[in-house]
Structure 1
């Protein structure tokens, strides 16, 4: 059985820019083994799978390695939002039921997608982490625990851009994401996201909506403002507008269709 799926560029209006994700819409959920095989075959950092059920529109994400993402995936959700808008052009608001909780989505008049993601507050680490400092190659001014991710705060945007982490050493620190962030020169904040153990097939994620679940609340409190213009200073240079609420972080960003592809469900079911 050949399936059509969308190859989407998230956090950009330029096909081939931003962060890539595959999106598949299915009539019902296949087995986890089939889904894992599809994700490995599609071979993009994230594959988003949408199934409309009696409960609502269910969304799951898988990494390039075929493992399930259970916390939150901003760029996979953004890609799925574009797929929904293309299949249902009159639909302006909808809710995805995800493993990380419901995500409300609104498509704006200028074709941005506003994703209501969960808010992740950070707590300051009581002690230094020399192994992380060695892996990053630079000593942060602050170190915070944001749950899934570790937040390393640096003095300037220049420091964040200059980082060349030792990914082998980062892998040895456990299955966590490592956020490097600082005040921005032209933005409220800048960041980079290192995730060598996440199975995305890349050591540094180019555009990470979920990382801003932690980044935005930290800088909102530090800067005394609830709306932030953030830059993920990766090779892709992703820009995000983040609105911080009591329990949520609303991320606004564009996405664009790069191409339609075809993948064999039967072939991957055998893997």
Structure 2
């Protein structure tokens, strides 16, 4: 496969697991780790209650996160700093990391930027992941007509764990004439969604989304029901996509930038 100028492959893990203990002494917060990592409606309701209960908040994390205020543009939403419950209230091993991986590819004669986001295996998702170390919940491929191989200001993204046990990713890709903004999230229940320039995608019906900006200012999208992917398999999978007839036709269609 012919690749264009290679962008940085980025893997970022936000291992923000607090080791402090809650000072709230009620039965729901003193359950065993095993019980706390069985996710159900009761756990969801308790988690929502914890959000409103300042005695469960991780104040050290809040202080550290204040450095993110005004950090700059990383997608459609300004990064908000909120107090969040201590991660270990959902189990000591309920969070093991979150990350992303980025690369650019040639598809026919066109250049495509790929961004992907994954959640590491933990006690909440381990049954769903099986023998996989992590799980890609969103992959975005965007047709572009320009690259910034020095400052990477045309393709920025961030993965955020502060909604633990739900996870969010957002970012943007800029072409010469337009911006593709996106946000995606995955819930502890297993549901996953993305919004790309106001188009909604249910990722459980295909986590790989292709976007082709058009010369007339409109967009085309192509959703692919990909197999279970990890940070280790995402590059090879994408390389195979670049040779797929439907994908090649989509990105090289008449009217695309």
TM-score tier after normalising by the smaller chain length: under 0.3
Q: Which has the higher contact order (CA 8 A, sep 6+)?
A: 1
TM-score, L = length of structure 1: 0.23
Bigger radius of gyration: 2
Would you tell me which structure has more strand in proportion to its own residues?
1
